[in-house]
């Protein structure tokens, strides 16, 4: 493909067409996604909502090239990303996407600065000084300047999720996928995290697609995509 995903993604967004995902568990099969058709415009602050087992995580995983659909296509910037080579899939994940996980997935051996810096290890076009500046800027943006050298176990849940957000954003991605980013946080901290995500969405134009089954979180989204039993109920 060789396209610059970034700018094209800003213009064209994400298009899912006839997306199905079936998991086989022994002799039984589970239909995780059923004929999902969806367009998410660039710069959206979209929430994929639905109860547990509705297919939210599967949908995000397929957009993030972590999982593959049984059928259907995912177009990002007009390009079918399922057809990418392994090298371009890796590049897509490192340059275009940012991931925020429900359980933060920080590397326990690294401190805040190093965790945020982790994705930049792959950005050889940046000098060490540039990386350092970008990391500091991102940590400041999530309000953790005072915790630069703290290890994850020294932080609260909300602070850890902030670190995860900073790590997801440090590469300046155009799409951020967040799988239940507030699920492990109390309501006050969850609100803070959402505030932060929304602020970044508005100030940078970053597309946010996050999943949740919390009505308070859904209220904050610019668009809510309701999934039920793998199918879109409302979008």
Residue 199 backbone zone (phi > 0: left; psi -120 to 50: alpha; other: beta)? alpha
| Count of CA atoms in the C-beta half-sphere (13 A) of 58 | 25
Residue the block writes with tokens 């899939």: 89
User: Cβ neighbours of residue 85 under 8 Å, at least 6 residues apart?
Assistant: none
C-alpha 59/C-alpha 230 separation (Å) is 9
Stretch of 76-84, 94-102, 142-150, 198-206 lying at the interface with other proteins (CB under 8 A): 94-102
Q: Looking at 4, 29, 105, 130, which residue binds other proteins (CB under 8 A)? A: 105
- Asked if 24 touches other proteins (CB under 8 A), the answer is no
Q: Does 67 bind other proteins (CB under 8 A)?
A: yes
Residues 6+ apart with CB under 8 A from 179: 56, 57, 60, 99, 100, 101, 102, 210, 211
Nearer of residues 61 and 207 to other proteins, judged by Cβ:
61
User: Quick check: 110 binds other proteins (CB under 8 A)?
Assistant: yes
103 binds other proteins per the rule CB under 8 A: yes
Among 114, 198, 214, 229, binds other proteins (CB under 8 A): 114
Compare residues 86 and 125 and give the one whose CB is closer to other proteins: 86
With CB under 8 A, what is the number of residues at the site for other proteins?
31
Cα–Cα distances in angstroms (integers) from residue 188 to residues 19, 159, 183, in the given order: 35, 12, 12
For position 129 contacting other proteins by CB under 8 A, the verdict is no
Q: CA-to-CA distance for 213 and 49, rounded, in angstroms?
A: 5
56: contact with other proteins by CB under 8 A: no
3-state helix, strand, coil in the chain (%, to 5): 40, 25, 30
Q: Quote the least distance from Cβ 119 to other proteins, whole Å.
A: 5
**Residue from the set 14, 42, 63, 117 that interacts with other proteins by CB under 8 A:** 117
Residues 140-169 that bind other proteins (CB under 8 A): 167-168
Dist. CA 95–CA 122, nearest whole Å: 10
Is position 101 an interface residue for other proteins (rule: CB under 8 A)? yes
Q: Which residue has the tokens 């505030």?
A: 195
Nearer to other proteins (CB atom), residue 167 or residue 220? 167
Q: Which of residues 167-196 bind other proteins (CB under 8 A)?
A: 167-168, 171
Residue 133: other Cβ atoms inside 10 A: 12
> Does residue 35 belong to the site contacting other proteins (CB under 8 A)?
no
Provide the binding-site residues for other proteins, judged by CB under 8 A.
61, 64, 66-67, 86-87, 90-91, 93-95, 97-99, 101, 103, 105, 107-110, 114, 117-119, 121-122, 128, 167-168, 171
């Amino acid at each position: 493909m060789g396209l610059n995903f970034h700018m094209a993604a800003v213009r064209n967004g994400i298009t899912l067409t006839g997306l199905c995902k079936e998991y086989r568990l022994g002799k039984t099969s589970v239909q995780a996604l059923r004929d999902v058709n969806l367009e998410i415009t660039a710069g959206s602050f979209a929430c994929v909502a639905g109860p547990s087992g509705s297919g939210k995580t599967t949908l995000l995983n397929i957009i993030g090239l972590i999982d593959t659909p049984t059928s259907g296509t995912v177009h990002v910037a007009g390009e079918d990303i399922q057809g990418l080579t392994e090298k371009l899939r890796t590049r897509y994940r490192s340059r275009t996407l940012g991931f925020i996980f429900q359980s933060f997935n920080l590397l326990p051996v690294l401190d805040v600065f190093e965790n945020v810096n982790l994705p930049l290890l792959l950005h050889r076009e940046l000098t060490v000084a540039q990386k350092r500046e970008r990391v500091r800027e991102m940590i400041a943006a999530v309000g953790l300047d005072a915790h630069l050298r703290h290890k994850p176990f020294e932080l609260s849940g909300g602070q850890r999720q902030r670190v995860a957000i900073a790590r997801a954003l440090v590469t300046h991605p155009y799409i951020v996928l967040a799988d239940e980013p507030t699920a492990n946080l109390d309501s006050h901290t969850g609100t803070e995290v959402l505030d932060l995500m929304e602020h970044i969405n508005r100030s940078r134009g970053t597309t946010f697609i996050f999943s949740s089954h919390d009505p308070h979180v859904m209220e904050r989204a610019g668009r809510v995509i309701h999934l039920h039993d793998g199918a879109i109920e409302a979008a």
